A = this chain, B = another copy of it.
């Protein structure tokens, strides 16, 4: 899955990197894609904002991954905004370059298709989870997912809520309960997982 690094290497060496601090936007929901973004360092989140001003946290991108490719390949405007979750450096690959890349390096197109296919599975499993798991189960699963996959990141209760499809108050409440039960340990705004089994065996 980290194929993008090697495929894009020659291209990326020629362009300069851009820097972002936490909270900066890479692109906005509704904009038309002009190319794709390659993350060299840091973490980026994809967020959808509903008419009722509710945010959903859709995907996380880390070093070595691309973003913006979904809209480009679908030939659609961005359906969500991407925002740096930490200090981030990235490179921009314009649309035209992507096209020639697809022609000259079919393995790039193949890697994009594979990424899309894996992300589609993940998204559809989340749809199923939203319908079949309780809010508490989803929050616990999200704690495990976000913390195990991105341990260095200090996730806010709000981000955890927006990823799990819940509210930050419910996240806080569950985390307090989980700490009492010894499943996690809170330290400042961060936390660590002490008993993963317990987290994944919550019933409600």
Q: Beyond A79-B124, A106-B109: 6 further Cβ-contacts under 8 Å?
A: A58-B124, A74-B120, A80-B124, A106-B106, A120-B120, A127-B127
Q: Give the number of chain A interface residues (Cβ < 8 Å).
A: 45
Q: Are A56 and B132 in contact (CB under 8 A)?
A: yes
Give me the interface of A with B, judged by CB distance under 8 Å.
48, 50-52, 54, 56, 58-59, 69-71, 73-76, 79-80, 102-103, 106, 109-110, 112-114, 116-121, 123-133, 162, 165-166
* Residue from the list B126, B132, B162, B166 in contact with A52, Cβ < 8 A: B132
- CA distance in complex: A185, B71 (Å): 38
Q: Write the chain B residue with the least CB distance to A103.
A: B106
Q: Are B127 and A130 in contact (CB under 8 A)?
A: yes
Residues on B with C-beta less than 8 A from A59 are 124
Residues on B with C-beta less than 8 A from A117 are 69-71, 73-74, 76, 116
